[in-house]
Structure 1
């Protein structure tokens, strides 16, 4: 049995200025979230990205092809009501950041981690005010409390829309530092993603590609790139 999908009921998707931001109209009807809240977003750029998704729908509406709308719904219905809880959960990555856990061997991997990850830890100290320290092995070792608190405060300062995208940047990369780096315009999202996959890439070079693992990694990459674009739209009028 095929899945039921709502039919397209509108002719034009367009953006309208409203109190507190911008809202998408389908013909004369303002769009609402699944939780029935007005789908008001903070920038015209984000609203226009959503409008393009709705305008591109054919006879039947496929929510899977509307990631900007889906993330905006999440920001309003799920992140905003529990902003502190989401921020705290993400901030916990700072005490066990991927970039801090280094291999003991082989030497090639040790060198690759240092070359790729040390500059990001230096960047976090210079730009975020938080110095995290690398350790060898997988056993958890607490990071300096003052650094963790700085990163926590920066995470809590994000808006619900930024935090919705930031959640995926951090959760998919496994690193709070890489998540913050991905929010800076002069950092390439693809390069940040490659750094998060450094260990997997090294193993792939040793043992060859696994098609299933590659397919799963590609899905995660596309989700990461979307989160990067969504966050950028949140800060671009």
Structure 2
């Protein structure tokens, strides 16, 4: 039954004892390729990327993946089954390119399904199901406090080499943000949060409230992933690409790796997972508003 196999969003629990092998480069490559060359069918997505998946001990239950038109938008078919969300609602995507991207994610699954790396389907499920029952205004109010703890606003003067690196790579981003939102935000070199002038909060709040729901949820997903409203804004506005956003958000980790070396499994997985999450956020925002 579709209801037993279509869940990919983390808010329902996974079966006890199931283990996952994370291969997040799949979603990153999918997002990058689709933004450059909009897909024409799920099959072309799979052929183009040569995606492989393996690791979750559940067999693929469908052969063909396709997209169908509805009155509200577009849906995804797994053979004759219509893809549903964790709340058992039919998944409805606002544009055909986004539906094709989700279909491509399902088509990329090989003999074993891996919901843990299906970031795109997971985010789309979250947008539609709204598992936390948040209103748009509530989502905006949830995002704004993250400016107080934004990664790029906290500097460590006691480590001169790290402080120099932070200034070199983060200052241009803060300058861009100040120009974009007509403010004079300054980083903090102490544990005290930076001062946020009320006009800034009003400006960012207005910006967020004008985003469509898919872009707003993608924005929030990215903020949760990289812990930075500033980096997310630059990504969504096209000032940064995904790789640049990842590198800026992991600046301190990069500095540690340069000095102490990399823990291959941990650091590599964290890096690729963040790439996939930010790529997914950007992809949903772009394809949900795609016009031909």
The answer to whether TM tops 0.5 is yes
* CA offsets 1:180-204 (integer angstroms, 9 cap, x no match): 1111335221111111111222222
Aligned pairs for 1:18-167 within 5 A: 18-78=70-130, 81-83=133-135, 84-167=137-220
Q: Which consecutive residues of structure 2, in runs of 5 or more, have no partner in the other structure?
A: 1-15, 19-56
> Once structures 1 and 2 are overlaid, which stretch shifts more, 191-200 or 64-73?
64-73
Q: Give 1:19 deviation, angstroms.
A: 2.6
Q: 1:65–1:195: structure 2 CA closer, same or farther, 3 Å change rule?
A: closer
* Runs (4+) off by over 6 Å: none
Contact 1:15 1:51 (8 Å CA) reproduced: yes
Q: Matched residues in 2 for 1:201 and 1:94: separation?
A: 22
Would you say 1:194 and 2:247 are equivalent positions?
yes
TM-score under structure 1 length normalisation = 0.85
* CA offsets 1:102-152 (integer angstroms, 9 cap, x no match): 121333222221221111112112223444221211222431111022112
Contact 1:124 1:131 (8 Å CA) reproduced: no
Contact 1:43 1:236 (8 Å CA) reproduced: yes
Match of 1:226 in 2: 280
Name the SS for the 1:102 alignment partner: coil
Q: 1:65–1:198: structure 2 CA closer, same or farther, 3 Å change rule?
A: closer
Q: 1:130–1:48: structure 2 CA closer, same or farther, 3 Å change rule?
A: farther
Contact 1:97 1:176 (8 Å CA) reproduced: yes
Considering fraction of residues, name the structure with more strand.
1
Q: Matched residues in 2 for 1:80 and 1:105: separation?
A: 41
Contact 1:80 1:160 (8 Å CA) reproduced: no
Name the SS for the 2:236 alignment partner: coil
Name the SS for the 2:256 alignment partner: helix
Name the SS for the 1:5 alignment partner: coil
Q: 2:235 aligns with which of 158, 175, 182?
A: 182
> Once structures 1 and 2 are overlaid, which stretch shifts more, 23-32 or 145-154?
23-32
Q: Give 1:13 deviation, angstroms.
A: 2.0
TM-score under structure 2 length normalisation = 0.71
Q: Give 1:82 deviation, angstroms.
A: 0.9
Contact 1:79 1:160 (8 Å CA) reproduced: no
Q: Matched residues in 1 for 2:95 and 2:69: separation?
A: 10
Q: Give 1:177 deviation, angstroms.
A: 0.7
